[in-house]
Amino acid sequence: MDNIKPTNLKQLLDLAYSAHQEHNTRKDFRQDGKVPFVVHPMWCALTLLNDQRIPFEERELGYQVLLLHDILEDTSLEIPDFVEPKVLECVKEMTHDSWEEEQNISDKSNFIKLLVLCDKIASMYDETVRNEPQRRKEWKILTQKLLTDVEKHYGSIRLVTLAKAVLNETDW
């Protein structure tokens, strides 16, 4: 069985840090300017990686994608050549030009829906979306749809339990 290579993890963490804290084109902090933006992709990646109810191969690929998932949307960096092609392909699948495009998930694979659910729950968990009242209802509808699809495919994984709790405790 393979394992997570610490050197690869560090290289990706360094890339995510550099992208979001040194090359961000949108915002380099979250939570009203109190928390560095890089915490968001780290939370997503580590939450997924720690859910042992998800097959290891999907966690191994998924944490890499989630560490890098906002780079193409929110920074001036490109994904470097050392990143595996499959990781880059998934990052591109999670990259959108608009909120309207982002909501179109019907043709996404179950794996990408899992990653997008992790991303959406992270923003609800840290209440970043509370500052976007016009988007709250659409965000919650999208997250509930993702939750339904992910639970149907993956069953009772920890991310599903977390998503249900966050959705239940989010009064929008």
DSSP letter string over 128-150?
GGGG-HHHHHHHHHHHHHHHHHH
- Sequence-separated (6 or more) residues with CB below 8 Å from residue 134: none
- Assign domain 6-168 to its CATH architecture: Orthogonal Bundle (1.10)
What's the predicted TM-score (pTM) here?
0.94
Most confident of 32-36, 104-108, 122-126, 136-140: 104-108
pLDDT of residue 170: 84
The pLDDT of residue 23: 92
Average pLDDT over residues 116-137: 84
The pLDDT-based confidence of 130 (bands split at 50, 70, 90) is: low
Answer whether residue 110 shows pLDDT above 80. Answer: yes
Residue spans per domain, the chain: 6-168
* Confidence bin at 127 (pLDDT 50/70/90): confident
Cα(47)–Cα(107) distance, rounded to whole angstroms?
A: 24
**What is the pLDDT of the chain when averaged over all its residues?**
92
Task: Compute the distance between CA of residue 34 and CA of residue 64 in angstroms, rounded to an integer.
Answer: 25
Mind listing the pLDDT tens digit for each residue in 22-80? Answer: 998 877 788 777 888 899 999 999 999 999 999 999 999 999 999 999 999 999 999 99
